Structure 1
Amino acid sequence: MSGEAHLPSIGVDQARELFFAQGRDPAPWIAPHISRSWQRSRPVDHHVIDPEPMALALLSERREQAMRLLNCAQPELDGLAEHAVGNGCVVILSDASGLILEEVGSADFLPKAERIALQPGVEWSEHNRGTNAIGTALAEREALMVLGGEHYLAQNGALGCAAAPIFTGRGELAGALDISGETVRVNTHALGLVRMAAQQVEHRMMLAEAGGHVLRFHARPALIGTAREGLMVIEGGRIVAANRVALELFSRSWDGLLDLDAEAFLGANWPRMEHRRNLLTLPGGRQIAMVMERSNTPDTARTTTRHATSPPGMTTEADDIQPLLHKAVRVLNEGVSVLVNGETGSGKEVFSRRLHAASRRSAGPFVAVDCASLPETLIESELFGYEEGAFTGAKRKGMAGRIREAHGGVLFLDEIAEIPLPLQTRLLRVLEERVVTPLGGGQGVAVDFDLVCATHGHLPALVEAGRFRADLMYRVAGFTVALPPLHQRGDRHALISRLFLEAGGAAKHLRLESDALEALAAYRWPGNVRELRSTLRAVVALADAGDSVTAAMLPAHLVGAWTSPPDDATPHALPHTEPLMSITRHAIDEALKACDHDVAKAARRLDVHRSTIYRHLARQRGKPEAH
């Protein structure tokens, strides 16, 4: 019954007694998807205390990674908010891990939601919260309800939730939409609303990310152009994406459709359907109404809009990284450990999160451990967990440990080179035996996870120096991904453009001018992508809404690096015979003269915002800038 509407079972109390008190199968008393979820949730302590939301800075980063999802889901959040307010509920958007990104709805229920940790910055995966609509919809890959006592955690017993997963055009989870409230207020109507809204978000995301040729079709021609149409994207003669409506129309799965030769599947006539609604005869003789369009998004610009959904899946990375991601996914899906190597700030964790989101473990947890930030005395208990009373200060009920938390998902060990030698031996044993034994003894627990590690160092050199075990290196570096530093990436123009939009440029309707883009691309960025993100946030914060951001508005050290390129300057760094700021000022002065010092006319002549002219005049007068 997974994905089907259901009423809370009158036998849920009997089911809880069977499962939690007697350890028996509750299946006869509850819906199958609830029974399956309870079984998956066994590792969760059903007395767990509600967590605090993650730090705002970290939540902001996660929201940036999911910017495409947030943008495409906003109309549906606004639309569902009216239903939620009128019914005393809240509407929630999560990412693919179950992390709540956005919440809107009833002012009466919002405080109650906060009391049960149903708020932005809290992860509602099954791994963290047991059976719940968000986490279970992501795990089951179906729209479903979880009502009252069907929740795994007893403290959520008064909660009713209906959630639907959101998929990318390649079948990867992008997130989930959820309506939550008191149990009596959530019903099959709410389930239908979130299911339909998720389909709308998927449709919007597909069109926003599409490149090449977009095929719109349906068995009923009148539905072409609506969110109920089938969508298929063809690039290089191959089918690279499709929505769920398309899968249903062709009775295919994503695995059975993606990467097929378009001509072999659709016939030789499909390219002739451009901008014409007509019947296409498929190779088997079936006819279907279709219209084909060329994407308005050129390949170079598309990399600025595909970041995502971050989570993001296989179609959301810029060109230099995409081949690395494809290879890493194939290797990880075969159970081979992946080592991500790169300079500090080059995006090792972001890459690893995308690897998880595109892998076979996408529905499971992504458990990140920063080995460099943990004191040596805490790494062991953090990784392996401990039994009650294992040491002074230990929690009363003990702790499972991060390795056990990664069961069914991906364990990410950042800066693995920082793990002390004695613990390397123990980690190697866990990786080989797939059994973890907590501190203080106790029974070993079987674990099943895929491993991704990261380091900015060179492990073979550490092995030579006696600081890292050779056998552990061979175990964690089954496949090594070398992320290039930012200044060596050939796709950095597209990357910078995308990150500029995600840093707030899109929200403020800013335009990144070509001189600014060239200056940013020419800089060496010693702090790599992390430094670039921080710089772009500052640039966006200082710009007024609607501004055209020119090189003159960038920090001076970036402009200097462009106008006075080093010996190894990139091919994109253009030669200049005079300082860039002088060129900019001269252009503005000339425009003002030509327009009789009419600021509005000069701005239109230069195709910039009036605030750019006012800033120029303020600098000339040495007075505070006008706004």
Structure 2
Amino acid sequence: MSAAQLPSVSVEQARELFFAQGRDPAPWIAPHISRSWQRSRPVDPQCIDPTPMAPSLLDERREQAMRLLSCAQPELDGLAEHAVGNGCIVALSDASGLILEEIGSPDFLPKAQRVALQPGVEWSESHRGTNAIGTALAEREALLVLGGEHYLAQNGALGCAAAPIFTGRGELAGALDISGETARVNHHALGLVRMAAQQVEHRMLLADASGHVLRFHARPALIGTAREGLVVIEGGRIVAANRVALDLFGRSWDGLLGVDAEEFLGVHWPRMEHRRSLLTLPGGRQIATVMERTGTASSGTGRTGARHAMAATSAGDDDVVRPLLERAVRVLNEGVPVLVNGETGSGKEVFSRRLHAASRRSAGPFVAVDCASLPETLIEAELFGYEEGAFTGARRKGMPGRIREAHGGVLFLDEIAEIPLALQTRLLRVLEGRVVTPLGGGQGVAVDFDLVCATHAGLPALVEAGRFRADLMYRVAGFTVALPSLHERADRRALISRLFLESGGAAKHLCLENDALERLAAYRWPGNVRELRSVLRALVALADAGDAVTADALPAHLRDAAPIADSGDFGEAATPQPNAPLQTITRHAIDEALRACDHDVSRAARRLGVHRSTVYRHLARQRPPAGNTKD
């Protein structure tokens, strides 16, 4: 037997031990493959390859990952040359493992599509078992998965090398992958994706930076390249760093983020700005450094502010969302369920994915279930799974269900208010006992996950109406995050500027003029960020490269709409006169709050600083019983 044959024989032996005998395959395969097979146990080894998600849904996911896509595009183009020459493909996924883009050999692309290795398919471990994309995300390391090391037998002809991509805060942003026939993927391909991922991280960190950026390396010639260390300082504290910086400082993200800059740079660190100097690290080692100040959001008009929007406004978006995210991470990490409340299109799923990426469960799966889109007849099977023959049309060998797929990660129940009342009791039992029993009987399976739910409806109002169990509400709403609607956000101008560039404005060198920005910021946006993205994509598509986009280019309904005021005057009802009765003024205030909150009673009460019962009494007076004309 040749040395070249030994790995294949070892993998075959490992598969026999694990899949046929249920024994530990660790002695026969790499440790990361052994760990991944164990994590992949809930996946049916005979599962059918999925079909890609609808193009409209994939477009939404691409929009959500626009920063990643724009920063990764040069690396995709660079790796494509290697891939085409070697009969391979290059794929970019988001943090959940969903493939966003794919490019490469025309000969191998059809083969990849036959095993669902294509855009619109999620290649997380919870969906596809052991594979380079999902396992690299789970292990947070660049790695190879070759041939029979894949969990699913139908992927045994693939060879894949993937590397995770991190933000400057240590959150997973996505993964880069090279895939081809097993013989064509090797450690050289792994080195290429590892270097490319480092380039993407470098580009993303600089694009997101606000405040001061410290560039450094032991070799001065490498400053300004993707191999330099980067640290971002805001308010005197380190808020972001790349992996090169972590290696040089001997710290983890947890050990570096939030540290006072003086600890590393001394009390006079602001004087380092725009100077080349030497920094002495603990232990006496010296490294070359350059300190730069990034652009800040401009309040000026016209082209100047827009030219710098990519670097200047990204932090502005976080001024509203980041504090909410940080608090939610803290409670989720303690096992407390988080309920994300917000209007349709306000970014509840985007927030929840960021929450997963920043949480203790970031290496585990993020399993999203849209409770509103599933027929009532299927939601029970989708959530809890089923045994073979549980009902007509059931898959052979059954299905584990989405709750079991979330084991070790985060279960995200979107629009949880839409779960039928009859199933709420069963869901409550699973959440309390952490044991799920599939339809058709069978033994209960213990599950361990953190829970995030989202809804645009007010659960207390549904409880009052008898449409949602109170005990389930208390179980899922351990901590509630109220996402503001777009027209309520103080940072909406900065957000609009950033999304304009991310929606293709930067690639076409477009400038969003101030008159257009003001009209966009003054619009009510009933569809929130989702509607805004669609409008911006249309503006970019209709503009020629280098254009200045003015208010005249906006759709008529945006040009003609009555503007909202930052003060909270929504212009939908006449303001009472100062000498009006107190009861009239009170009613007006409640009506205005309800309109501003899309008639969500809980949010309106929080906005007013009153108990929900006050708002309910007001609504009851507005809707008297038939025949009762008393106020």
Where on the TM-score scale, by shorter chain, does this alignment land: which range?
0.7 to 0.9
Corresponding residue number in structure 2 for 1:290: 289
Residues 274 and 563 of structure 1, relative CA distance in 2, 3 Å threshold: closer
Corresponding residue number in structure 2 for 1:341: 341
Corresponding residue number in structure 2 for 1:83: 82
Give the residue type in structure 2 aligned to 1:116: V
Residues 566 and 142 of structure 1, relative CA distance in 2, 3 Å threshold: closer
Corresponding residue number in structure 2 for 1:578: none
Residues 156 and 568 of structure 1, relative CA distance in 2, 3 Å threshold: closer
Does structure 1 residue 102 correspond to structure 2 residue 101?
yes
Q: Does the CA-based 8 Å contact 1:304-1:495 persist in structure 2?
A: no
Corresponding residue number in structure 1 for 2:238: 239
Alignment deviations for residues 441-483 of structure 1 (CA, whole Å, 9 cap, x no partner)? 1111111111111122221222222221111111100001111
Does structure 1 residue 255 correspond to structure 2 residue 254?
yes
1:570 CA displacement: 7.7
Q: Counterparts of 1:280 and 1:516 in 2: how far apart (Å)?
A: 46
Structure 2 portions without partners, runs of 5+? 300-304, 572-631
Q: Does the CA-based 8 Å contact 1:68-1:307 persist in structure 2?
A: no
1:66-77 to structure 2, matched below 5 A, reads 66-77=65-76
1:390-401 to structure 2, matched below 5 A, reads 390-401=390-401
Q: Counterparts of 2:223 and 2:503 in 1: how far apart (Å)?
A: 35
Corresponding residue number in structure 2 for 1:494: 494
Q: Does the CA-based 8 Å contact 2:564-2:570 persist in structure 1?
A: no
1:80 CA displacement: 1.3
1:547 CA displacement: 2.1
Corresponding residue number in structure 2 for 1:614: none
Corresponding residue number in structure 2 for 1:624: none
Fraction of identical pairs, as percent: 84
Give the residue type in structure 2 aligned to 1:399: M
Residues 308 and 179 of structure 1, relative CA distance in 2, 3 Å threshold: farther
Residues 198 and 563 of structure 1, relative CA distance in 2, 3 Å threshold: closer
Give the residue type in structure 1 aligned to 2:24: D
SS of aligned partner of 2:318: coil
Q: Counterparts of 1:203 and 1:546 in 2: how far apart (Å)?
A: 26
Residues 565 and 212 of structure 1, relative CA distance in 2, 3 Å threshold: closer
Q: Counterparts of 1:469 and 1:74 in 2: how far apart (Å)?
A: 47
Q: Counterparts of 1:551 and 1:95 in 2: how far apart (Å)?
A: 34
1:155-554 to structure 2, matched below 5 A, reads 155-282=154-281, 285-298=284-297, 305=310, 317-554=317-554
1:97 CA displacement: 1.1
SS of aligned partner of 1:321: helix
Q: Does the CA-based 8 Å contact 2:37-2:129 persist in structure 1?
A: yes
TM-score (norm 2): 0.84
Residues 536 and 220 of structure 1, relative CA distance in 2, 3 Å threshold: closer
Q: Counterparts of 2:57 and 2:267 in 1: how far apart (Å)?
A: 50
SS of aligned partner of 1:53: coil
Alignment deviations for residues 117-163 of structure 1 (CA, whole Å, 9 cap, x no partner)? 11111111111111111111111111111111111111111111111
RMSD: 2.5
Residues 363 and 36 of structure 1, relative CA distance in 2, 3 Å threshold: same
Give the residue type in structure 1 aligned to 2:346: S
Give the residue type in structure 2 aligned to 1:490: A
TM-score (norm 1): 0.85
Q: Counterparts of 1:358 and 1:339 in 2: how far apart (Å)?
A: 16
Per mean C-alpha deviation after superposition, the further-off stretch among 34-43 and 492-501 is 492-501
1:58 CA displacement: 1.1
1:9 CA displacement: 5.3
1:506 CA displacement: 2.6
1:490 CA displacement: 0.5
Q: Does the CA-based 8 Å contact 2:320-2:489 persist in structure 1?
A: yes
Q: Counterparts of 1:463 and 1:564 in 2: how far apart (Å)?
A: 33
1:317 CA displacement: 4.5
Corresponding residue number in structure 2 for 1:312: none
Give the residue type in structure 2 aligned to 1:140: E
Q: Does the CA-based 8 Å contact 1:92-1:178 persist in structure 2?
A: yes
Residues 316 and 450 of structure 1, relative CA distance in 2, 3 Å threshold: farther
Corresponding residue number in structure 2 for 1:23: 22
Q: Counterparts of 2:316 and 2:117 in 1: how far apart (Å)?
A: 28
Q: Does the CA-based 8 Å contact 1:211-1:299 persist in structure 2?
A: no
Alignment deviations for residues 143-187 of structure 1 (CA, whole Å, 9 cap, x no partner)? 111111111111111111111111111111111111111111111
Q: Counterparts of 2:194 and 2:526 in 1: how far apart (Å)?
A: 46
Q: Provide the aligned length of Structure 1 versus Structure 2.
A: 561
1:263 CA displacement: 0.2
Residues 563 and 247 of structure 1, relative CA distance in 2, 3 Å threshold: closer
1:8 CA displacement: 3.9
Give the residue type in structure 2 aligned to 1:345: G
1:563 CA displacement: 7.0
Corresponding residue number in structure 1 for 2:616: none
Q: Counterparts of 2:88 and 2:202 in 1: how far apart (Å)?
A: 25
Give the residue type in structure 2 aligned to 1:556: A
